Every structure is written in structure tokens, then in C-alpha cells.
Amino acid sequence: MDRKEEIKKRIQEARKRQMFTVDEYVGGIVKGDRMILAKAITLIESYKEEHQTIAKEIIDKCLQIKSQSLRIGITGTPGVGKSTFIESLGMHVLRKGKKIAVLAIDPTSQMSHGSILGDKTRMEELSHQENAFIRPSAAGTSLGGVARKTREVMILCEAAGYDTIFIETVGVGQSEVAVHSMTDFFLLLLLPGGGDELQGIKRGIVEMADAIVVNKSDINPVLAKQSKKAYRNAVHLFPQKESKWVVKTLMCSALQNEGIDAVWQTILNYQDLTIQNDYFHQKRQQQSDYWFKQALQQGLEQLIKNHPQISQEMKLLKQQIFQGKMSPFAAADKIISLLK
């Protein structure tokens, strides 16, 4: 029996048992088995310790599988047309022979199941395509936790052969920073409506964008064109990007599939430029470093929280800080000395 057949047989047996070993999960993921991929993602999203242990092993093994992926972040306020745009661009990319995964970081997902990005009817056409995998945002108590899980899910999707990853978020704050920290290209969707629109969006978010795309250009093409110009003038005032990429402003109608190819071409041009000048690779390294530090920080916080003696000391020190008896810095030093 060759290796492929062996994996297939083991998966069939495991299906009956409703349980998989790490190797079976990884084998199934690599084979492109969507059911196993979805099950493995459920483990990542679970907060049970035994699930987390298996999930970590799966992620580590999936990281060994080399994949050439392109990670695209998309943001914009609710109603700007993100899901319509991802559906339109996604279908376009599928026709080019790609396999796509659509993930989301939704800061509201911890509050309710009816979160901003959670609507089941979104991306109807895309969700029926064999080469598209759509997963709503993980739920969690902190944005950091949700973002980390999304990054891990992305690693699994890449091991499963999804070479184009879309990560969507909603323009309501810190979640853009999280998406930017795990994607190669960052796209801001806006509505037509004069350059003033940019004033309402945090400057930091606009500065992160590699492309600004004015959607719904079918409603008022003249206004859309004016907005595109105004946005272009505004972004030209920003300093040059480390990537040496000049931010592009485009317009499209996601609903009517107009201007979508130009958006895709722009993304490919960015990829070409940054692979050539090595920024693509450098940025991924910077991102890994960022996630390493994030994970370390989260782990240390957890360690302190779960340590009875240290957490007790923390409470006492906090009181002393509040009473003005100790500076926050001296208190932090005291905790650190307990860890040594």
C-alpha cells in the first residue's frame, strides 16, 4: 500500500472512530480534505487544554509544509461592500486557477454570534465553490486571542493548498493592525464621496494601505472618479513606504464586476516588486518576530495569572501603587525578580 492509500485508509478508520491522531489530521489537511481541515480548525478555536495541545502539534507540522501563498488583508466600514468585493475578486482569482481561503477577524465576535462579519448569507456564490474555503471569525475574549487563532488557521489553510488567503476585518479600530500584521498586501475599501472621507478614517489605517479602492462606482461614476483622484492626492503626501511600493488608488463596482481585474493586477504587481526587492520575505520575517513576541507576552501573562504566589503579590503591589506607596516600575521589577 503506498503512502497516499495508507493515509486514506487511516482517515476512513478514524472517521468511524470520530477521532484523529496528529498525523491523521496533518495527512488529511495536506490531502485537501475539507472536513478534516474544519475539524482541525475547531481544535485551534477551542479553549480546552487537550485540544490546544493537539492543535499546537498540528500547526507545527503544517508549518513544515512549504507553500507559496499570497495573503491579502481587506478592511472597510460596514456596508462598504467587503463581502461583495471578496466574492467578486475571489471568483476572478478562482478562474485563474487559484485556491482561496477567506478568513476574518471580527472584533465583535466575542460579544454575540450575530457579529458584524458573521452573517451566514455572505459570499453565497463563493461558498459553493470547490476551491474556496470560507471560515467566519474565531470568537474570543480578546482581539489578541482572536488574531492569533486566525493566524494559526491561515497556516493550516496554506498547508491544505489554499494559495490565496483573504483576511477581512471591519474598520472599527485595532483589528486592522492585527490583519496588517499577518498579511502581505493590505487593501482599504472606501465609498465614493470626496477626499473628506479619509479624514474620518484613522490616519494609521490609511497609511497601512497598499491600495485604496473606491467601491460602488456604478452608482455615480463621476463622483467615484473624483473620489479616486482626491484619495490619490491625499496618499501622495504620505512618506514613501519601506516596500518602495507606491500606493495605488482604484475604483470598482464589486456588484457589477467592474474594475476587479485591475485590482488583482495591482496585487500581483505588488507581489512581483516586493519579491524582487526582498521586502516580501523581510516583512514575513518581521511578522513572525512580532507573533513570537506576542505569544511570549501572552504566555508570560498567563503564567503570572495562574501562579498563586505571584498573582497574590500582584494584588498587594497594585494596592501599594494606588496608595502612592510604590511606583509602577518598582512594582514591575519586584514581580520580575520573583520570576528569576
Contact residues toward ligand GDP (CB under 6 A) are 76, 78-84, 215-216, 218-219, 253-255
For ligand GDP, which is the closer residue by CB, 69 or 115? 115
Query: Shortest distance, CB of residue 173 to ligand GDP, whole angstroms?
Result: 16
For ligand GDP, which is the closer residue by CB, 138 or 214? 214
Distance (Å, rounded) from C-alpha 228 to C-alpha 235? Answer: 11
- Measured from each CB, the residue nearest to ligand GDP is 81
Query: Shortest distance, CB of residue 240 to ligand GDP, whole angstroms?
Result: 30
Distance (Å, rounded) from C-alpha 294 to C-alpha 301? Answer: 11
Buried b (16+ CB within 10 A) or exposed e, 220-258: eeebbebbbebbeebbeeeeeeebebebbbbbbbbbeee
For ligand GDP, which is the closer residue by CB, 83 or 150? 83
Compute CA 291 distance to the chain's CA centroid, rounded to the nearest angstrom.
12
Query: Shortest distance, CB of residue 178 to ligand GDP, whole angstroms?
Result: 18
Query: Shortest distance, CB of residue 168 to ligand GDP, whole angstroms?
Result: 8
Query: The C-alpha cell of 19 is what?
Result: 477521532
**What are φ and ψ of residue 212, in 5° steps?**
-115, 120
Give the sign of the dihedral formed by CA 181, CA 183, CA 186, CA 189.
negative
For ligand GDP, which is the closer residue by CB, 73 or 81? 81
Query: The C-alpha cell of 128 is what?
Result: 459553493
Query: Shortest distance, CB of residue 98 to ligand GDP, whole angstroms?
Result: 21
What letter would DSSP give residue 101? E
Query: Shortest distance, CB of residue 215 to ligand GDP, whole angstroms?
Result: 5
CA angle 150, 153, 154 (to 5 degrees): 85
Compute CA 128 distance to the chain's CA centroid, rounded to the nearest angstrom.
22
For ligand GDP, which is the closer residue by CB, 69 or 169? 169
CA angle 116, 122, 124 (to 5 degrees): 170
Burial class (CB in 10 A: 0-12, 13-18, 19+), 329: exposed
Query: Shortest distance, CB of residue 82 to ligand GDP, whole angstroms?
Result: 3
Distance (Å, rounded) from C-alpha 103 to C-alpha 272? Answer: 24
Query: Shortest distance, CB of residue 43 to ligand GDP, whole angstroms?
Result: 28
For ligand GDP, which is the closer residue by CB, 76 or 90? 76
